[in-house]
Structures are given as C-alpha cells and as structure tokens.
Amino acid sequence: MSVFPEAWRERNLGEDFDHYIDVKKRADIALTRSDLNDVILRPSALQDDPGRGTVALGPAEIHDVITRHDVAATLAALLHEPRITRQILEVTAEDTPIPDAIHAITTI
C-alpha cells in the first residue's frame, strides 16, 4: 500500500504530511528496485463509508476518494492474480466491478 503522489496536495497539510508522502515515495522506489515480485497499490483518499465493490484501477487515475473496504477488496483480489506483477497501480471509486477492473489491467 502506498499513496497517490498528489493526494490532498492542494490542501497544503504541512511538513508532516509532506514528509509522509516523501517516505512513501522512497519506499516505492526501494521496492521497485528490489528483486521482490511486488505490486504497489496507491489508493485515493480513504473513506469509512460502506464499500461499493466498484473501482477505477490502472497505472494512472484521477485522485478522488475510495472506501477502505473497496481498497481492501481490490488488494485481496490483486494478490490472487498471478499475471499482475511488478506494477504500480492507482485505485479510486468508480463504476467498474473490482474483478472486471483487475481483468482489464491484465490485458494492458
């Protein structure tokens, strides 16, 4: 799990938040340069609402919001998809069912 690079940047949340984003970015870099078979998931702003089971998922998405439930469901599904390796994916709320969104990125 990572963070959208531009997540809430327009809000100017201060040095602590900037440090958090920097640390996440450095962790992403270290992971992608390792020999590990990784998938980095960058969710948009997390919400506590009930999950919808639908997302937008891809290498670049518009930063919006997403429920924690939908992030967890997407992450669980990604972990069971062996064709998705060594990728950085962004996820946000949208209308595509999670299994369909994952299937779509396996054909990119």
The per-residue pLDDT for range 49-66, each reduced to its tens digit, is 999 999 999 999 988 899
Whole-number pLDDT of residue 24:
87
Mean pLDDT, rounded, for 66-85:
95
Could you tell me what percent of the chain has a pLDDT over 90?
A: 65
Mean pLDDT, rounded, for 68-97:
95
Could you tell me what percent of the chain has a pLDDT over 70?
A: 90
The band of 10, judged by pLDDT with boundaries at 50, 70 and 90, is low
- Is residue 22's pLDDT more than 80? yes
Whole-number pLDDT of residue 5:
65
- Is residue 12's pLDDT more than 60? yes
- Is residue 79's pLDDT more than 80? yes
Residues with a catalytic annotation lie at 20
Q: Helix/strand/coil (H, E, C) string of the chain?
A: CCCCCCCCHHHCCCHHHHHHHHHHHHHHHHHHCCCCCCEEEEECEEECCCCCCEEEEECCCCCCEEEHHHHHHHHHHHHCCCCCCCEEEEEEECCEEHHHHHHHHHCC
